[in-house]
Amino acid sequence: MKTVVFDIGQVLVDFDWHGYVRSLFTDEDVIRRIEKAVWESRLWIEFDRGVLSDEEVIQKMTECDADLADEIRLAMKDIGRTVIRRDTAIPWIRSLKTRGLQVLYLSNYSYRLRSQNTAALDFLAEMDGGLFSYEVHLLKPDAAIYRALCEKYDLTPEETVFLDDMEDNVTGAKACGLQAIRYTGQAETEQALNQLLDFSA
């Protein structure tokens, strides 16, 4: 193995949408309806795709529940607060780089989320590069985004291992020829990664 590729959300940072919404609202019906407009409509991924403007996506969300348009806009105003820094991210990345590995990221991530909480992403400076979905208007597990990463960094898929907490994304990476491990917690995932790296050494 020559390269380790990380997903970001729930791997290198915590993502707590539910806690964030509950910091703004106490009415459980309102919370449920906001989550339905944002998550169950799958409009959140349009932020990650980066084709529509933020206002276009938010407007579509408010159309899912017009009576809560103001509340939906409030919830979407400061979504950077949903991302929580992990102290373990930088040491993990550094430990891999000391083994001579290239370390990249590949994440479904919006410009809005990235720009609102750069402090939680301080580990990016430790990495050798990567792709955010909004930059290429592609989303995991679309094969095109894995190919885009491989082309940008001249990766050999068989010499690259991808870590992600979503099974569909792991499956998508494997279908493109990458080695892939589902993140189930740092200790377990580090163990599985180390076994793979030692085996391929």
Inter-residue contact 93 to 126 (CB < 8 Å): yes
Check: CB of residue 103 under 8 Å from CB of residue 2.
no
**Residue 25 burial class via C-beta count within 10 angstroms: exposed 0-12, middle 13-18, buried 19 and up:** middle
Blockwise average pLDDT, block size 10, the chain, 201 residues: 97 96 96 93 93 96 97 96 97 97 98 96 98 98 98 98 98 98 96 90 59
- Please name every residue paired with 102 in a beta bridge, in sequence order, or none if there are none: 3
Looking at residue 1, what is its pLDDT?
A: 94
What φ, ψ does residue 14 adopt, rounded to 5°?
Answer: -90, 145
pTM of full prediction above 0.85? yes
d(CA 34, CA 39): 8
In angstroms, the CA 140 to CA 1 distance is 22
Q: What is the CATH number of domain 3-14+85-200?
A: 3.40.50.1000
Q: Is residue 2 a contact partner of residue 156, using CB atoms and an 8 Å limit? A: yes
Please, are residues 118 and 147 in contact by the beta-carbon 8 Å criterion?
no
> Three-state SS across 135-163?
HHCCCCCCHHHHHHHHHHHCCCHHHEEEE
pLDDT for 200: 73
What integer pLDDT is reported at residue 199 of this predicted model? 79
* Residue ranges covered by each domain of the chain: 3-14+85-200, 15-82
What are the angstrom distances between the C-alpha of 16 and each of 22, 48, 96?
10, 16, 27
